[in-house]
A and B are shown apart, each in its own frame.
Chain A
Amino acid sequence: MASDFLHLQHRLRRRLLARLAGLTGAILATTTGLLAPIVAWAGARNVEAFDAKAIDLALVAAGVADAVESEDVILRAPDIAENSAIVHVEIQSKVPDTRSILIFAEKNPQPLVAQFDLLPGLEPIVAVRIKMAESAHLRAVVLAGDRKYFARRETKVTLGGCAG
Chain B
Amino acid sequence: MPDPIKMRIALDGEVATVKVLMPHPMETGLRKDPLGEAMVPMHFIHHVVATHNGRTVLDAQWSRSVSKNPFLEFRVRGAKSGDRIGVTWEDNRGETMSLEVPIK
Contacts and interface: CB of A to CB of B under 8 A. Distances in A.
Please say whether the chains A and B touch (CB closer than 8 A). Answer: yes
A131 B28 contact: yes
Interface in A84-108: 85-88, 90, 105, 108
A9 interface: yes
Q: Is the interface of B mostly helix, strand, loop or mixed?
A: strand
Contacts of A19: none
A77 interface: no
Interface string A117-134: 111111101111111100
Main secondary structure of the interface of A (DSSP, over half): mixed
Given A39-B98, A119-B56, A46 B68 contact: no
A114 interface: yes
Interface residues of B, number: 42
B86 A36 contact: yes
A33 to B, nearest CB: 3
Contacts of A90: 73
A113 B72 contact: no
B58 A117 contact: yes
Contacts of B71: 88, 127-129
Interface in B3-46: 15, 28, 30, 46
B72 A43 contact: no
Contacts of A87: 67
Interface in B33-89: 46-47, 49-52, 54-68, 70-78, 86-88
Contacts of A129: 66-67, 70-71
B74 A35 contact: no
B96 A38 contact: no
A39 B88 CA distance: 8
Contacts of B28: 131
B67 A43 contact: no
Contact of B56 (A9, A115, A126): A9
Contact of B74 (A45, A46, A126): A126
